[in-house]
């Protein structure tokens, strides 16, 4: 499938011709990259391995399996706190290695990982420019992310995005995690528009695309070249459009003023 192209109509979702008034963005993996995620995870596990005197690679493999299991377990819940999900992942990894850990070790691991990720934080190329161009077109923008409130606020501040969008909504504030409909409905209320008037942009098929389309929004899947092979990034959901880079949003028919003029002239 070519980037920026419209997908086939599937799963009973008719594509709307209603004008778009709001564009909503996932955060992690969409407005910022996951490029340093594995490096941050490996560095965290290497540090944690030192606490217990175990092999760093064994620690990384155990924690990776533990977090993967936690994601699978939490996936069916309409709401959860991400610090609890990752806490369970670290506990499972430490337990698999038979380590004498406690809650302090788990908390330190989470804090270490967050600090490592922050050190390598990077917005996607063209993110700020794309947001600015969309606002110039009169669209209301929002960030809608599965994440705890304090964590998401920190990332948004790190990226300098506070003034680039009209609102930021965390799953903790919404008491709902994608793909649950609650977080999308809460975002639409903040955007002041109907589902058919909103476009959602995300990189996770099973969270972003399935949830957005089920809630009645049109959906754009960001599929960049460096997408990681992570369980929660997989899925067979059918978006309305697929792009490889954020600036391609500006050329999509629902968001391109030139396309609207051309259509009106027919």
Is 111 in the same domain as 42? yes
Domain boundary among 87, 119, 151: 119
Q: What is the pTM of this model?
A: 0.89
Alpha helices in the chain (DSSP H): 37-52, 56-74, 82-96, 103-119, 127-136, 149-158, 171-174, 181-191, 210-214, 257-265
Largest Cα–Cα distance in the chain?
71
What is the pLDDT at residue 15?
52
Is 138 in the same domain as 226? yes
Which CATH number belongs to the domain containing residue 144 in this structure?
3.40.50.1000
What is the pLDDT at residue 260?
55
Q: Output the CA angle 141-229-212, nearest 5 degrees.
A: 30
Domain boundary among 88, 119, 150: 119
Is 13 in the same domain as 144? yes
pLDDT band per the 50, 70, 90 thresholds, residue 225: confident
Is 112 in the same domain as 138? no
Could you give the percent of the chain with pLDDT greater than 70? 86
Residue 9 pLDDT exceeds 50: no
Is 72 in the same domain as 146? no
Contacts of 246 (CB under 8 A, 6+ apart): 30, 31, 124, 125, 126, 127, 130, 201, 222
User: What is the DSSP pairing of strand 198-202 with strand 218-222?
Assistant: parallel
Residue with the larger pLDDT of the pair 197 and 11 = 197
Is 59 in the same domain as 176? no
What is the pLDDT at residue 1?
38
Domain containing 152 equals: 5-34+122-265
Is 88 in the same domain as 161? no
Tell me the pLDDT tens digit for each residue of 94-140: 999 999 999 999 999 999 999 999 999 999 999 999 999 999 999 99
The domain tally of the chain equals 2
Is 77 in the same domain as 185? no
Domain boundary among 66, 98, 119: 119
Which of 56, 32, 34 shows the shortest CA–CA distance to 44? 56
Tell me the pLDDT tens digit for each residue of 167-197: 999 999 999 999 999 999 999 999 999 999 9
Is 145 in the same domain as 184? yes
């Amino acid at each position: 499938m070519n980037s920026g192209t419209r997908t086939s109509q599937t799963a009973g979702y008719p594509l709307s011709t209603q004008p778009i008034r709001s564009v909503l963005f996932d955060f992690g993996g969409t407005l910022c990259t996951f490029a340093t995620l594995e490096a941050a995870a490996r560095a965290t596990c290497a540090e944690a391995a030192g606490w217990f005197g175990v092999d760093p690679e064994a620690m990384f493999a155990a924690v990776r399996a533990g977090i993967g299991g936690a994601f699978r377990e939490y996936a069916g819940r309409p709401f959860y706190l991400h610090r609890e999900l990752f806490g369970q992942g670290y506990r499972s990894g430490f337990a698999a290695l038979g380590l004498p850990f406690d809650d302090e070790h788990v908390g330190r691991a989470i804090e270490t990982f967050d600090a490592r990720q922050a050190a390598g934080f990077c917005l996607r190329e063209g993110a700020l420019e794309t947001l600015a161009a969309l606002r110039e077109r009169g669209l209301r923008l929002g960030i809608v992310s599965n994440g705890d409130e304090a964590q998401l606020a920190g990332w948004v501040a790190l990226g300098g995005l506070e003034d680039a969008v009209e609102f930021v909504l965390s799953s903790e504030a919404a008491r709902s995690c994608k793909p649950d409909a609650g977080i999308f409905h809460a975002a639409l209320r903040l955007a002041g528009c109907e589902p058919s008037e909103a476009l959602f942009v995300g990189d996770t098929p099973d969270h972003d695309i399935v949830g957005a389309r089920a809630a009645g929004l049109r959906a754009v899947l960001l599929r960049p070249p460096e997408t990681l092979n992570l369980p929660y990034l997989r899925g067979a959901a059918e978006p309305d459009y697929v792009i490889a880079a954020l600036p391609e949003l500006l050329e999509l028919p629902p968001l391109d003023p030139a396309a609207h003029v051309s259509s009106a002239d027919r």
